[in-house]
């Protein structure tokens, strides 16, 4: 089987070690000859890279490994760029979350004003990765999961329309793993799902047994009505979406489910449909960014330093991100033309019949060596359509604002977000966000 060369952009990410362990676990179907790390923070990346080098040497010494901050070294001779950068790092995520909360508005990484601020930072970062890839490895694919994926996807659709970039999210995958557990099946391929929406803003409208075609929605509805998506393994096992905060989010799916019992919602809809409850339950002085810095970030970096210190990897220091094997599924499908069915963020173009053809929507696709072939969704109900029209306008206005350097468009974007009560509050939040984002956003006039 032909071996691939990959670069992980955002080598210093908290997710990198888990992804390396997962890639090493799947070499039989996605063989690798080279793994490179690229980051613009040398010091941060080095801690992760030193540990990963020890792991790779131990588990698969024939794979060549390099960590670099030099774009030419990083992007030359690669088949795939796997990108998870966070422009502004956790310091800026904390501000994205805390500034809206000052005004009683949801403060979240990808939703509402915080997500908009993050979008204004991420666009240039991801465009830069595309340009490096096209300069040094023009045939490669960029698999992007850097957030906010919805805004990044709209920006790359407009600014790099012919580039080989695919945007993907792990939230539906994680929820589908829970559906499998709820249904008593073993693995995700035991079910076939239909889903539509925008990124972090969508619904399942069909779940079937892969073997028999049996409709599994009635059984799922009954469970979700009582428990949301929370399952036993969330409480018992250490896994990515398994801490108390995620458990609460999974449980809360029951409170958003009730407004449309026909479909099953993405957990992220809580920020839009239950904004008041979310704000009430958030400590404005200690938000999710603080939790992540005090747990995942601290634990991953301590584990990496310990591996480096003893110059050995025993196998239990870091958590393997098995759920992230969707990244391997995607790369394998592109490399070996597998026609795997996956949810991707693609241009609508009539896939959702009664929705803006230029919107970037998250829908099932068959993934071939030539890219994704989206599957038709048909017409969607008025409730979802209404919500999506509003949200897609927010995302498009953010990209307008970024392209035009327009204060007015960004004010409109924040005002239009369902999480924000008025243009007055929107303006206050915008002014505070702009003040701290001067280094990252284009100048606004
Ligand atoms: P992190 O801060 O630990 O890692 C991000 C890394 O990116 C840092 O090492 C940083 O130095 C680097 N970086 C920042 N700007 C860069 C640039 N312009 N060029 C190169 N490197 C740059 O963050 P994390 O919590 O591990 O998350 C990483 C990213 O993955 C975030 O964007 C997060 O939102 C995203 N994510 C997405 C999904 C999904 O469903 N799509 C799932 C999980 C995480
Ligand atoms: C899910 C989403 C990602 C998001 C992450 C945040 O995985 O799909 O897009 O980045 O959650 O998780 P955290 O634990 O950092 O709050
Ligand atoms: Mn996501």
The Cα–Cα gap between 175 and 168 comes to 14
For the cut 90, the answer to whether the pLDDT of residue 50 exceeds it is yes
Q: Please name the helix (run of DSSP H) or strand (run of DSSP E) that holds residue 310, with its range, or none.
A: helix 298-310
- For the stretch 371-390, pLDDT in tens is 999 999 999 999 999 999 99
Q: Is the pLDDT of residue 420 over 90?
A: yes
Q: DSSP letter string over 266-306?
A: -GGGHHHHSHHHHHHTSBTTB-HHHHHIIIIIHHHHHHHHH
135 alpha carbon – ligand 2 mean position (Å): 30
167 has pLDDT over 90: yes
**Residue of 39, 79, 96, 170 with catalytic role:** 170
pLDDT at 240 over 90: no
Q: How far is the CA of 86 from the centre of ligand 2 (A)?
A: 12
Residue 197 near ligand 1, beta carbon < 6 Å: no
Does residue 244 have a pLDDT over 90? yes
Is any atom of ligand 2 closer than 6 Å to the C-beta of 239? no
Average pLDDT, the chain: 97
Six-digit token pair at 181? Answer: 């557990």
Which residue among 257, 268, 271, 326 is the active-site one?
Answer: 268
Q: How far is the CA of 211 from the centre of ligand 2 (A)?
A: 31
Q: What percent of the chain has pLDDT over 70?
A: 100
Percent of the chain with pLDDT over 90: 96
* Burial class of residue 307 in the structure, from the number of CB atoms within 10 Å of its CB (0-12 exposed, 13-18 middle, 19+ buried): buried
Closest atom of ligand 1 relative to the 125 alpha carbon: 18
Q: Is 170 in the pocket of ligand 2 (CB under 6 A)?
A: yes
- Under 8 Å CB-to-CB from 34, ≥6 apart: which residues? 5, 6, 63, 64, 65, 66, 77, 78
Q: What is the reported pLDDT for 239? A: 86
Give residue-wise pLDDT tens across range 220-239.
999 999 999 999 999 988 88
268 is catalytic: yes
Per-residue pLDDT, 42: 98
- Distance (angstroms) between ligand 3 centre and the Cα of 417 equals 18
Residue 255 reports pLDDT greater than 90: yes
**Picking from 130-134, 197-201, 314-318, which range would have the lowest pLDDT averaged per residue?**
314-318
pLDDT of residue 363: 98
| Residue from 41, 84, 146 whose mutation best tests the ligand 1 pocket (most atoms within 8 A of CB) | 84
What is the tens place of the pLDDT at every residue in 15-39?
999 999 999 999 999 999 999 999 9
Q: Is 153 in the pocket of ligand 1 (CB under 6 A)?
A: no
Atom of ligand 1 nearest to the CA of 170: 40
**pLDDT tier, 300 (very low <50, low <70, confident <90, very high otherwise):** very high
- pLDDT the model gives residue 23: 97
Distance CA 9, CA 142 (A): 10
pLDDT at 322: 84
- Residue 216 pLDDT class (50, 70, 90 cuts): very high
Residue predicted with more confidence, 81 or 316: 81
């Amino acid at each position: 089987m032909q071996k691939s060369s990959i670069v992980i952009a955002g080598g210093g990410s908290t997710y990198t070690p888990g992804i390396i362990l997962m890639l090493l676990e799947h070499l039989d179907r996605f063989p690798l000859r080279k793994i490179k790390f690229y980051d613009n923070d040398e010091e941060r990346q080095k801690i992760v890279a030193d540990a990963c080098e020890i792991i790779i040497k131990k588990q698969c010494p024939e794979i060549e490994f390099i960590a670099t901050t030099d774009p030419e070294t990083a992007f030359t001779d690669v088949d795939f760029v796997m990108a998870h950068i966070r422009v502004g790092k956790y310091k800026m995520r904390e501000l994205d979350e805390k500034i809206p909360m000052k005004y009683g508005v949801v403060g979240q990484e990808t939703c509402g004003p915080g997500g908009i601020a993050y979008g204004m930072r991420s666009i240039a970062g991801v465009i830069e990765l595309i340009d490096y890839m096209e300069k040094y490895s023009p045939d490669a694919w960029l698999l992007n999961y850097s957030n906010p994926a919805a805004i990044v996807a709209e920006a790359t659709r407009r600014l790099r329309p012919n580039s080989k970039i695919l945007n993907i999210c792990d939230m539906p995958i994680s929820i589908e793993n829970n559906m499998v557990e709820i249904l008593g099946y073993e693995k995700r391929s035991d079910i076939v799902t239909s889903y539509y929406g925008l990124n972090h803003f969508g619904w399942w409208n069909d779940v079937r047994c892969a073997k028999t075609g049996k409709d599994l929605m009635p059984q799922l509805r009954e469970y979700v009505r009582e428990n949301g998506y929370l399952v036993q393994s969330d409480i018992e096992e250490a896994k990515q979406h398994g801490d108390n905060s995620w458990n609460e989010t999974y449980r809360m799916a029951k409170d958003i489910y009730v407004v449309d019992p026909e479909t099953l919602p993405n957990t992220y809809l809580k920020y839009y449909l239950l904004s008041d409850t979310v704000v009430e339950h958030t400590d404005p002085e200690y938000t999710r960014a603080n939790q992540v810095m005090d747990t995942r970030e601290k634990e991953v970096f301590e584990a990496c330093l310990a591996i480096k210190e003893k110059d050995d990897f025993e196998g239990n220091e870091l958590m393997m991100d098995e759920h992230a094997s969707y990244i391997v599924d995607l790369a394998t499908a592109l490399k070996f033309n597998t026609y795997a069915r996956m949810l991707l963020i693609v241009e609508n173009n009539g896939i959702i019949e009664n929705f803006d053809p230029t919107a970037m929507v998250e829908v099932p696709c068959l993934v071939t060596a030539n890219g994704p072939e989206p599957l038709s969704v048909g017409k969607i109900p008025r409730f979802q359509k209404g919500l999506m029209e509003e949200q897609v306008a927010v995302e498009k206005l953010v990209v307008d604002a970024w392209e035009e350097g327009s204060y007015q468009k960004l004010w409109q974007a924040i005002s239009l977000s369902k999480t924000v009560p008025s243009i007055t509050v929107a303006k206050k939040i915008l002014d505070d966000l702009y003040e701290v984002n001067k280094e990252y956003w284009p100048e606004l006039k």
